[in-house]
Amino acid sequence: MKAEEHSTRTLKLGEWEVRLRSYKLGDTYHCTADNVEPGAWIARAQGATKEEAENRASQRARKLLGRTRRKPHGLR
Amino acid sequence: MSGYAFPETLVSTDWVEKHTVDPKVRVVEVDVDTSAYGEGHVPGAIAWAWNKQLCDTIRRDILPQDAFERLMEESGIGNDTTVILYGDNNNWFAAWAFWQLKIYGHKDVRLMNGGRNKWIEEGRELTTDVPKTPDAQYRASKPDLSLRTILPQVQDAINRGGVPLVDVRSPKEFTGEILAPPGLPETCQRGGHIPYARNIPWSKACNDDGTFRSIDDLRRVYASEGIDGTKPIVAYCRIGERSSHTWFVLKYLLGFQNVSNYDGSWTEWGNLVGAPVEKGTTAAVN
């Protein structure tokens, strides 16, 4: 099998930029979410449609990103 | 891949596609997301889990020598096998595996340029079949610890007035604004960086498709921060995998001789009682 219908887009979830990479493999759509900077994978999801896979990955990513705290006092 | 110091350590997706059934070649996927392999992988590839198979699971350390030899044998890898590593996140943990294979003296290990994402985006064949591996015997070399820097060496270097440390984390991690990449667990008590460190994020070594930048671009990126191979260099990040990626670039693409990976990285330094920490801004490197 080969991946088809590739797409990549970025969006903001809260204050964080996230990149969604989606493709279809067999009958299933897959989506991975990474945090763009530094590019670390944070969530993966599948769905019967691209939208479903992306929504699930986004929801998981949003939950994890919500735990990240900024510490502006750490700056000079 | 022309111009790199050791171009034989890098192979293209096309090369891998032509060697998936080559009995002298073992392709291994090493992902941050250890479930990715099960979704579909390069035909003939096996998988190593970085958090279970590429570390000591009792104490924090790289694989002990006997466990490393066992992993190679169970993977059907002999001393003469060509090992091709690839993975997600632009080969972060594939590079971590590469680093450990070099520590234990494996002769022929290579990274697939662009990693898992490039393979998928090029529409190449994927399978969920897990291959059977042949019997193999493996004897590791005595570990080459010149490739690794440990805490006392960093402390000693700082006390002597500095060492070319390259912090390959994102600028926000470097300055102390965040303690870990967004969305990942905060695993240290303090934010910031090791004194004297230069911030050259790992991603500066890559093109948009995940492949490595040209030799001229790489020279320029690192030279702009004073990293030209004339002095020993220590790379670090948060847990040692992103710095393995940069270590690979500096040692095998640029050909700098004295490069090591401080795999204790920020999760060690940022948790130390009494360790000096610098915070603040960093210049962007393009």
CATH superfamily of B7-143: Rhodanese-like domain (3.40.250.10)
Per-residue pLDDT band for A73 (boundaries 50, 70, 90) equals: low
Contacts of B127 in chain A (CB under 8 A): 1
User: What is the Cα–Cα distance from A28 to B88, expressed in whole angstroms?
Assistant: 20
pLDDT at A71: 77
Which of A28, A71, A73, A76 should we substitute to test contact with B (largest number of B Cβ atoms within 10 Å)?
A71
The answer to whether B111 touches B98, Cβ cutoff 8 Å, is yes
For each of chain B's 286 residues, which pLDDT tens digit applies?
Answer: 679 999 999 999 999 999 999 999 999 999 999 899 999 999 999 999 999 999 999 999 999 999 999 999 999 999 999 999 999 999 999 999 999 999 999 999 999 999 999 999 999 999 999 999 999 999 999 999 999 999 999 999 998 877 789 999 999 999 999 999 999 988 899 999 999 999 999 999 999 999 999 999 999 999 999 999 999 999 999 999 999 999 999 999 999 999 999 999 999 999 999 999 999 875 545 4
Query: Which of A2, A68, A75 is opposite residue B124, by nearest beta carbon?
Result: A2
Domain assignment present for A74 = no
Please state the length of chain B: 286
pLDDT of residue A13 exceeding 80: yes
Contacts of A3 in chain B (CB under 8 A): 40, 120-121, 123, 126
**β partners of residue B147:** none
User: What is the Cα–Cα distance from B186 to A74, expressed in whole angstroms?
Assistant: 15
**β partners of residue B29:** B47, B86
Q: Is B59 exposed, middle or buried (0-12, 13-18, 19+ CB in 10 A)?
A: exposed
Contact B179 A71 (CB under 8 A): yes
Q: Which residues of B touch A (CB under 8 A)?
A: 31-33, 35-36, 39-40, 88-90, 117, 120-121, 123-127, 169-173, 175-186, 191-192, 201-203, 242, 279-281
Please, what's the b/e burial string for B169-182 (b: 16 or more CB within 10 A of its CB; e: otherwise)? bbbbbbbbbbbbbb
pLDDT at B164: 86
Which range marks the domain in which residue A8 is found? 4-67
Computed on alpha carbons and rounded to an integer, the radius of gyration of chain B in Å comes to 18
Give the pLDDT mean for A29-56. Answer: 96
User: What is the Cα–Cα distance from B202 to B166, expressed in whole angstroms?
Assistant: 10
Residues of B marked active site are found at 237
Domain assignment present for A76 = no
Question: pTM for the whole thing?
Answer: 0.95
Domain assignment present for A72 = no
Contact B180 A2 (CB under 8 A): no
Contacts of B185 in chain A (CB under 8 A): 67
Distance in Å from the first CA to the final CA of chain B: 21
Contact A40 B183 (CB under 8 A): yes
pLDDT at A54: 98
Q: What is the pLDDT of residues A32-41, one digit of tens each?
A: 999 999 999 9
Domain assignment present for A75 = no
Within 32-61 of A, beta carbons closer than 8 Å to B belong to 32, 34-35, 37-44, 61
Query: How far is B80 from chain A, CA to nearest CA, in Å?
Result: 31
Query: How far is B25 from chain A, CA to nearest CA, in Å?
Result: 22
- Strand, coil or helix: B236: strand
Q: Is B37 exposed, middle or buried (0-12, 13-18, 19+ CB in 10 A)?
A: buried
Two tokens at B275? 């360790």
Q: Is the fold of B7-143 the same as that of B148-269?
A: yes
User: What is the Cα–Cα distance from B169 to B156, expressed in whole angstroms?
Assistant: 23
CB pairs under 8 A between A and B: 108
* CATH number at B148-269: 3.40.250.10
Distances in Å between the alpha carbon of B46 and those of B43, B57, B81, B203, B252?
Answer: 9, 21, 14, 26, 24
How many separate domains does chain A show? 1
User: What is the Cα–Cα distance from B31 to B120, expressed in whole angstroms?
Assistant: 14
Query: How far is B258 from chain A, CA to nearest CA, in Å?
Result: 26
Contacts of B170 in chain A (CB under 8 A): 37-38
* A12 in contact with B, Cβ within 8 Å: no
The answer to whether B265 touches B128, Cβ cutoff 8 Å, is no
Contact A4 B203 (CB under 8 A): no
The answer to whether B237 touches B243, Cβ cutoff 8 Å, is yes
Please, what's the b/e burial string for B126-139 (b: 16 or more CB within 10 A of its CB; e: otherwise)? beeeebeeeebebe
What residues does each domain of chain B span? 7-143, 148-269
Question: The domain spanning residue A61 has which CATH number?
Answer: 3.30.67
Per-residue pLDDT band for A72 (boundaries 50, 70, 90) equals: low
